[in-house]
Amino acid sequence: MSVLLVEAFYGGSHKQLMDLLQEELQEDCVLCTLPAKKWHWKARTAALYFMQTVPTSTNYRILFASSVLNLAELAALRPDLGKLKKVLYFHENQLAYPVQKYQERDFQYGYNQILSCLVADVVVFNSAFNMESFLTSIGKFMKLIPDHRPKDLEKIIRPKCQVLYFPVRFPDVSRFMPEHKLARLEKVIGVKRNGDAYQLEGLPGQQKSRALMKNSNAHRESGLCEAQPGLYTTQHEGLPSPLTAPARLNKSEASESTNPCQEEDKQHLTFNLSNILSGRDYQQRPLHIAWPHRWEHDKDPETFFKVLLKLKEKDLPFHVSILGEAFTEIPDIFSEAKKALGSSVLHWGYLPSKDDYFQALCMADVVISTAKHEFFGVAMVEAVYCGCYPLCPKALVYPEIFPAEYLYSTPEQLFKRLQNFCKRPDIVRKHLYKGETAGFSWAALGGKFRSLLAAEPREDL
């Protein structure tokens, strides 16, 4: 157990990454976590908790933690851990994080992350946007200190930094896809169905890879070709050279829901999908819009629901599935919007089962983000993998991940795109996605993570 994994906020993408690393490293790692509740308290106090609970071991070589943890505090409180090679992973950064009302205490969160970077040996960001927005904000952020300000911190931290995209383990979702998505997939990558599986027609191994590379570079639609070994051939700026290891299937995993009406809505989902999505006239069904984000202010649900209600006012037909996770404080707009949207709601609430979640995404036509904050966007990448047409703000990380045609600049532009799609849902159902998802897969990125976690500890400590 040479790798110590520490996660102070074990939920969402933080949990997803730690679980993936633990699965890959197996007996060569120890995972120590705190639950994903009361984020502010975890950021302030997690180091003290882990000082007491992380088991001692002479076998540790690497400490890998997310930036929620104050790594400087933990290294000082546990000198044995301070001697390890310390890798800090940024899912998000507090220097570019929107707050509803700034308070002086909020300074501490960004300050903690700067301290953590200074003691870390390697600082990893899940996107170039995340890295640059953090590093270029350090100088301005430190000016909040009234006097005796430290200098040149960006110059000290930047050489330690690198971009390593969040690795998504894409499961086989072909069994969840409606007929038109399966047909579209066949058209894109030249596959034929054999029961629930896919086989490339008449091509030996290397030719299959070349054929898929050629087609997926131009029209990567759902990423299902990732189930085949040797297909990770798409180069992306900032990405490591892809590996040829096949992606593994993602097991269904249940977690406790914070949405009180989840069980009712889960039944609602199953019932509606079987009725609304069955039959040969799927192309005639209303546009199905998905919103798979946390129910919090930084995802700007107000803008999203305002656009949907405007569609509703114009009597445009659509269905909507709200799939994100709710926490302790739920913005009022959710209960208000659910009532106002009425029969347009297909599903409402968090789906703890990964199979249910991916099924819902496969049945959707369009996936929307209205986020004010996003440093990668796992949910959007997963939705595109499931064949959804993405619409994202032309800001934050999105231009780094998605081609320009999937970006909008204003809520009015978003409304006009959706208005057109409501009138002509066949547009998105026939569309061939012009980006790619394979570059964000564990198969493409796993080698880089393994290298990161296999290095020797620093000798000068």
Which residue's entry shows tokens 């897969």?
441
DSSP three-state, residue 320: strand
CB count within 10 Å of CB 259 equals 22
- Burial class, 274, CB count within 10 angstroms (exposed 0-12 / middle 13-18 / buried 19+): exposed
Read off the tokens for 264: 């009712």
User: Which uninterrupted H or E stretch holds 200?
Assistant: strand 197-200
Q: Please tell me the predicted confidence (pLDDT) of residue 177.
A: 92
Q: What angle do CA 352, 354, 357 make, to 5 degrees?
A: 80
Question: What's the 3-state SS for 124-189?
Answer: EECCHHHHHHHHCCHHHHHCCCCCCCCCCHHHHHHHHEEECCCCECCCCCHHHCCHHHHHHHHHHH
For residues 443 and 170, what is the distance between their CA atoms, to the nearest angstrom?
9
For residues 91 and 39, what is the distance between their CA atoms, to the nearest angstrom?
14
Q: What's the average pLDDT block by block, 10 residues per block, for the chain (461 residues)?
A: 95 95 94 94 97 97 98 98 98 81 74 98 98 97 95 98 97 91 69 43 33 37 30 30 31 39 42 46 85 94 98 98 89 96 96 94 97 96 96 98 98 98 96 93 96 68 40
Q: What are phi and psi of 272, to 5 degrees?
A: -70, -40
Is residue 360 within 8 A of residue 269, CB to CB? The reply is yes
Q: Please tell me the predicted confidence (pLDDT) of residue 223.
A: 31
- Burial class, 172, CB count within 10 angstroms (exposed 0-12 / middle 13-18 / buried 19+): middle
Is residue 457 within 8 A of residue 59, CB to CB? The reply is no
For residues 70 and 117, what is the distance between their CA atoms, to the nearest angstrom?
9
Which residue's entry shows tokens 């027609």?
201
14-24 burial code (b ≥16 CB/10 A, e <16) = bbbbbbbbeeb
For residues 54 and 33, what is the distance between their CA atoms, to the nearest angstrom?
9
- The beta strands (E) that lie in 325-453 are given as 345-348, 366-368, 389-393, 407-408
Return the closest-CA partner of residue 15 out of 33, 3, 42, 39. Answer: 33
